[in-house]
Structure 1
């Protein structure tokens, strides 16, 4: 490699960030892991409507099992996105609500939903074009 190529190569390497946050660990992998599971976004959307009891959450989210709702709410509580409020009654009564951090995430989720809605047709058109141009790929 010539001296000129080495200089250009080092400049390019220095200008390209190592990830979406540059060199620091902004936590994006943790957030994407949490949001990428099947139920988290649905729980956050439901809780953005207000305080919900466990059974109300379970009824509002079609297909979620009691176990998965328990696991999801525990993870969201651990991450500081949801607050669990237990009342000393018989039978036990538990409410869930978004924390301020959870509400700010809900705003972002709704922004992503708006973007998806606005670009749904363009994405479908691009996919149809790709499939027509590349019939043997991604299937």
Structure 2
């Protein structure tokens, strides 16, 4: 099980834009996410993927984080491979990439789509 503090620290160290200063909200994000993958170095959380999915047709990869000190070890690629193997070939995987991550997703073979829309959230 992931603790709020471990997830908070990973978001903070990767400079990922999430509401990490609201522990209750962060705990709900962890608890209510249907698919979470994590990577560990001993007791230290070093990688994390958070996915919203129905396990049959679609999967939205909300977050993929790897501690900066571990980025050169291809752990992001490993998390993506594990995720794809777990959800299987019948499930479409989609995500919105940060500008800094576009090259990573292109290198591992994801196809770019320009038709995403959203309604913003409060807070």
Q: Shorter-normalised TM-score: what interval?
A: under 0.3
Q: Choose between structure 1 and 2: higher helix proportion.
A: 1
Alignment TM-score, normalising by the size of structure 1: 0.25
Alignment TM-score, normalising by the size of structure 2: 0.27
Q: Choose between structure 1 and 2: higher strand proportion.
A: 2
**Rg larger in structure:** 1
